[in-house]
Amino acid sequence: SDLQKQEERGELLQPLIFVLLVLCSVLLYFKVSLMDPGFVKPEEEEGENKGQGVVIPQIPGDIKLRRCGYCLVKQPMRAKHCQLCQHCVRRYDHHCPWLENCVGERNHPLFIVYLSVQLVVLLWGGQVAWSGLYFEQSWEWLQRNIFLLVSFLLIFIFTIVVLLLLVSHLYLISCNTTTWEFMSHHRISYLRHSELENPFDQGIILNLWRFFC
């Protein structure tokens, strides 16, 4: 049959892989949006604070960890209170409105994986949409292909957004800094009073290794 011939030629494998990638993207979305991004809990204060001087020896000793004015926990280094989540988040990066959750210490690596899978799905979908187009200068052609044209335009826009987001995050990760630290460097006490511009930077390879592994 035609189905068996397509299977023998491997033509059914690509749609299957595409569907699995879409499913993986959806599962990653829910995983990142629903998981704990690294909320600071009161019982963890003492353990968190003890290790700060060991991990970051370049931070001046006169900078004291402050107590959050909202949830009243003692903030570890690099933590920030998110008013939307009503929690302090360890290694706070940003609050993502698309996920309705913070991106922090625990879910940041999965967030990067999600963006990568989403980019592959968008590029693949864009290629499929483009391959279905054949251009003619007629009103009938436009009516027949309006759905494909709109789909390709939307995929193109989302692809640019996801690509820029992924590249910017990978750059910040390679420097061992967060979006919040990058945007608010002059307002953060442990960065403003540090002798180094970025006291957390340990080189690109070690930064990537510590983040993903």
Question: Any idea what DSSP says for residue 89?
Answer: E
Closest CA to 205 of 164, 176, 177: 176
- Strand, coil or helix: 64: coil
Give dist(CA 29, CA 12) in Å, integer: 26
Q: Which entry of 96, 102, 175, 213 is annotated as an active-site residue?
A: 96
Give dist(CA 174, CA 198) in Å, integer: 12
Beta carbons of 178 and 78 less than 8 angstroms apart? yes
Beta carbons of 25 and 118 less than 8 angstroms apart? yes
Residue 85 among the catalytic residues: no
Give me the active site residues, please: 96
